């Protein structure tokens, strides 16, 4: 019998459930963001559009979206340090992008200071900061002098690229 290839980490995600966040998840989400050095401002208000990844009843990852007109702002992408590198981050971002599409977004923006190299795999490219500020004027992420003043801006202009692999012809 020949040797099998290593299992795809995403296959192992069968043990991890990604679902909409509930109000009871807020403390765990805030902990996760704090340990990941990400801003917590605005999270309680945006919670209805947050996802969590749960393993054995414990929140191990989160990602949220805020909606603007025809666009979503992807925020708060964080994986528990002990669970990083096993595919959870990629999977929760994919789910958040699908969620953004279901909510009516045609494009998705984000601001990041620590992971600009993580997002091109989904099709994100650099964007003008002013574009995000104009589309999400009320977000705590775009607040003047706020948490993300020095962050890099990125955009995914065509969400269909993410949705495509799940289309059955
Ligand atoms: C970025 C983050 C969400 C990735 O989660 P993860 O579960 O470790 O990622 P996955 O296992 O799904 O994917 C691993 C891949 O992401 C890359 N990666 C992980 N963190 C990265 C970072 N900060 N910058 C660039 N690439 C990164 C790895 O090098 C690996 O690349 P490869 O597939 O080419 O080998 C996680 O490291 C994290 O929570 N970081 C702290 C918070 C943060 O910076 N969030 C993003 C800001 S919005």
Which residue owns the Cα nearest ligand 1 atom 19?
118
Mean pLDDT of the chain: 88
pLDDT at residue number 146 = 74
pLDDT at residue number 3 = 52
Q: Which residues of the chain have pLDDT under 50?
A: 1-2, 8, 10, 166-169
pLDDT at residue number 165 = 54
Cα–Cα distances in Å, from 153 out to 55, 57, 91, 136, 156?
31, 34, 21, 12, 11
pLDDT at residue number 13 = 56
Q: How far is CA 25 from the centre of its chain?
A: 16
Residue 85 and residue 87: Cα distance in Å, rounded? 6
pLDDT at residue number 69 = 87
Residue 29 and residue 58: Cα distance in Å, rounded? 11
**pTM for this one?**
0.91
pLDDT at residue number 149 = 79
Helix (H) / strand (E) element for 44: namely helix 43-46
Domains and CATH numbers, the chain: 9-166 (3.40.630.30)
Residue 82 and residue 3: Cα distance in Å, rounded? 29
Residue 79 CB–ligand 1 contact under 6 Å: yes
Residue 95 CB–ligand 1 contact under 6 Å: no
CA neighbor of 16 nearest in space, from 65, 79, 75, 66: 79
């Amino acid at each position: 019998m020949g040797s099998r290839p290593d299992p795809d980490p995403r296959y192992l995600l069968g043990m991890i459930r990604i679902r909409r966040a509930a109000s009871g998840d807020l403390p765990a989400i805030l902990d996760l963001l704090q340990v990941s050095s990400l801003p917590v401002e605005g999270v309680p208000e945006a919670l209805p559009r947050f996802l969590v990844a749960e393993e054995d009843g414990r929140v191990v990852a989160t990602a949220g979206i805020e909606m603007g007109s025809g666009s979503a702002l992807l925020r708060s992408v964080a994986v528990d340090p002990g669970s990083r590198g096993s595919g959870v981050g990629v999977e929760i971002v994919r789910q958040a992008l699908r969620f953004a599409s279901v909510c009516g977004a045609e494009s998705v923006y984000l601001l990041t200071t620590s992971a600009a190299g993580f997002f091109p795999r989904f099709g994100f490219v650099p964007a003008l900061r002013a574009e995000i500020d104009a589309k999400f004027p009320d977000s705590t992420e775009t607040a003047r002098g706020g948490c993300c003043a020095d962050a890099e801006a990125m955009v995914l202009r065509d969400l269909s690229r993410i949705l495509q692999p799940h289309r059955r012809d």
